[in-house]
Chain A
């Protein structure tokens, strides 16, 4: 689920060169299954519209090379697949959806506390110390 979204985000930028890429008949529809032959029903093809799969050229970006594959049905794009993605922390996996909130201070019944490494001195005054004291 998390991986689906970033492809779309990336492809928005990567598509620009694709728009300018005019597939020449035959040569552009590459590879097996590129074009659904007329009369051969496939699950993916909508009635009356043959789908064409076009691999875009590799676009160097500051994050690395990007290449997308676009499926056209008629004149419309129905699918975009990433063929090459930059090996970069920001984009390697995705740009996931995040929920924005405001920081709130709270106290509640808890079993333990997660926090950055505390030293033994810091522990004496920590919430975890209070929890441990409660358990003994």
Chain B
């Protein structure tokens, strides 16, 4: 998938292989779930090459997540867009990094901050999580204080208009940036992407999800956020 992964662990005793397990898992995810690899599980499934019943538990989970959010957004979020193969990236990223965080917790770690390409999973905070300013790569537009859970941002700045509104097939342009804080990164990332695809109505949609706090930047510099957003002092 080609994005940097940063892991900071503040526990006094860190098992030697804990971090290795995280990176091995993320490489495995890339091999299995990348739509950019012809021979990945996802590509083969998308081409109908996986025989019935051969669906792995992981892929079944990813597809179920994609379907859940397709329904919840009235089709704005869709892992199967017309004219394209199956592309579950929007679900896989948060899901896989959340799983990586659970590997760390399972290894006994209590205080860590994992950042995979801008998706953040933290434990044992408080951690101060900056939200990148949509207009300036070297500035922040908010600082959040999160002890445990996930923070994900969808925005137009890095890769241009890469999130499509499944209802129209055209790039979603209603928002400049939308950040979600949720109990898990799986939820935060999927909700951020789905809300971004919905456009301006996605702000209220995301805010209505149980456990989600939202910070949205609208074109023109207007900000909408939930009252419960954990803004750092």
Contacts and interface: CB of A to CB of B under 8 A. Distances in A.
A38 interface: no
Contact of A115 (B127, B144, B158, B210): B158
Q: How large is the interface on A (under 10, 10 to 19, 20 to 34, 35 or more residues)?
A: 35 or more
Interface of A is mostly: loop
A58 B98 CA distance: 42
Nearest to A95: B204
A96 B204 contact: yes
A115 B221 contact: no
Q: How large is the interface on B (under 10, 10 to 19, 20 to 34, 35 or more residues)?
A: 35 or more
A117 interface: yes
A74 B221 CA distance: 49
B44 interface: no
Contacts of B118: 113-118, 128
B6 A132 contact: yes
B3 A96 contact: no
Contacts of A126: 137
A102 to B, nearest CB: 6
B19 interface: no
A108 interface: yes
B177 A102 contact: no
Interface string A108-130: 11111111111110110111110
B205 A100 contact: no
Contacts, number: 179
Given A93-B209, A105-B141, A120 B2 contact: yes
A10 interface: no
Contacts of B174: none
B154 interface: yes
A6 B93 CA distance: 31
Nearest to A125: B137
Contact of B72 (A89, A97, A109, A135): A89
A92 interface: yes
B204 A135 contact: no
A98 B226 contact: yes
A88 B76 CA distance: 11
Contacts of A35: none
A97 B74 CA distance: 22
Given A98-B214, A111-B127, A114-B132, 4 more contacts: A92-B208, A105-B136, A105-B139, A112-B122
What 9 A-B pairs are tightest by C-beta distance, nearest first?
A115-B132, A93-B208, A116-B155, A110-B130, A115-B118, A103-B221, A96-B207, A101-B223, A123-B4
